Chains A and B, each alone.
Chain A
């Protein structure tokens, strides 16, 4: 069955802690993994998504354990984890569950912060890349396009995204708990990722006084700083620049820590112990987790921000329930489309088989009755056609009548069995 061929294999914030996720981060390079997954035997279609919180492969493949295991091995290659650990930290969804999952991811119901808007853009990019490299086929094309429209429908029909629910919003909320009124405070952005930009925008809306952008390439820092009416700096200046900052948002692509506990201790004396809020949204992490042990330093990584999100989840939970219902509804529609895709070839095949049989029997009969006139031959032929049509009428109705997808699937299998469509014999074994 087509639905069973769809599977989704990956790691997200719910299945694996940040320590595991950072080991398998693909640092923004989605092309290489995509090409390599495409080459895995049994894989018909694929799409590869890598964000801060998830690494995920969407597959259309024969549901065979070997293909799935090969994809999982590829994802965890270099993480140093055993196969059993890789299985423990990852999730695998197939068939209807996979369809549901894709829709939930697109509408950010599976995100750390419900309703955060970035994930849809990231999924669209992943789809575009897969399409450009001919990794998608009719099923993924339809599934992903559908997931975008489901996300749009959820955004318009529920208010899940309206209360600015994103990681950056959570960060702003936390900043207010630590620093009180944010008016006039200084924020330092290390790295210029999309999330950091968004957080800076939120902070500016709260009246933040100054934005300083520190980036490895100064040009990018200058451009971004201009957008926020702020100052640019190079990443090498990070520590001295921290002396004046109240909030640091770090999202560099650095594979190593950019700020250690030992860098900060003398700086706190220089700051007269003025508190500082460090937000590490990079995976792998930029900031030494030990920084949080120092007085007046509050360090939150991306997983920690989840806690803030939990606090005010109540309202959005209700909207999320509505959104989940939309997802279920759309998943059923997609399954119906898949089944129709399967129904059409079955109907065509059944008609073709019946017609072949009819023609074979007709020619045998006509050969045994040489005295028939052309008119009589025509009547016999017409009768055989009508007989086949009448015989097939009820099976066709039976096939199309089922309301529920699982009934349709059962009927389809039954019909194929009854008419021997999967046996490879042409039914011409009669006496």
Chain B
């Protein structure tokens, strides 16, 4: 299983390097190669998750390794789904490094199979876990779009057209990306919180117990909710939306890791 994971990681790394080289020299053949490597990595990663599912007997989102690996897989799937629907020039060059980074974290996290504590042995685990991580994946795509937007806008505003302006899509396309990813990511995030709350009611008898992870999920949700609200009422779009997508994703990452590292609580992963 470990070798399988390493192979998946190697494929992601290969796809990332190819996509980055392609981003620099705009070689179309490399673009196809990166796509092929990513497709293979996605397929093999799915196999790894299934193997792990059958080996552990539960959805592989329970340990830190599992959650991050599942996050990377969700991000790949979200990217492929997005790519199937929309075309955003050189998007892969920003998303693939993030996937590889997540895989690197997973690689260095203990990958042993864990026994679930009784509270977590519920069918809510796959529902809540998968929805929450899928939400994170779409919010990560919005983050990548935000970074691309700021780079592109910087060149246009400073009137120094060159490296990025040639390689990145129009500001309009990047703002649309932000909106599309949010319009999927935000409902999923809401659903993740709702399912978590229902699960909490079942496991501990209360919907909400102000656990640090719950608090940070709420903060994250409020950031995205205000962003969507502002977008539709006063037109917080484009640059502000891009910055908010980056800030929101920082909150997502903190909810995922920071809380576990600094604040603890019932969501702390085993291992």
Contacts and interface: CB of A to CB of B under 8 A. Distances in A.
Contacts of B176: 180
B85 interface: no
Contacts of B235: 269, 271-274
B31 interface: no
A91 interface: no
A296 B242 CA distance: 12
B260 interface: no
Interface in B168-212: 169-173, 176
B157 A177 contact: no
B172 A178 contact: yes
A179 B236 contact: no
Of the candidates B156, B176, B240, the one having the most CB atoms from chain A within 10 angstroms of its own CB is: B156
Given A272-B234, A304-B159, A311-B161, A296 B170 contact: no
Contacts of B2: none
Q: Which bracket fits the contact residues of A?
A: 20 to 34
B161 A307 contact: yes
B157 A307 contact: no
A308 interface: yes
Given A272-B234, A295-B240, A180 B156 contact: no
B168 to A, nearest CB: 9
A275 B171 CA distance: 10
Interface string B144-172: 00000000100011011110011001111
B167 to A, nearest CB: 11
A308 B162 CA distance: 8
B238 interface: yes
Nearest to B162: A311
A271 B238 CA distance: 13
Nearest to A275: B238
A300 interface: yes
Given A311-B161, A311-B165, A311-B166, A177 B238 contact: no
A343 B152 CA distance: 61
Contacts of A419: none
Interface in A255-300: 269, 271-275, 292, 295-296, 298, 300
A424 B248 CA distance: 91
A296 B152 CA distance: 13
B237 interface: yes
Contacts of A272: 234-235, 237
A351 interface: no
Contacts of A298: 156-157
B239 interface: yes
A179 B173 CA distance: 8
Contact of B171 (A178, A271, A273, A292): A178
A310 interface: yes
B156 A295 contact: no
B88 to A, nearest CB: 11
Interface of B: 152, 156-157, 159-162, 165-166, 169-173, 176, 234-240
Complex A-B, nearest 8 residue pairs according to Cβ-Cβ distance, in ascending order? A180-B172, A272-B235, A273-B235, A180-B170, A304-B159, A307-B161, A311-B161, A307-B159
Given A180-B176, A295-B238, A311-B165, 4 more contacts: A179-B170, A180-B169, A180-B173, A295-B239
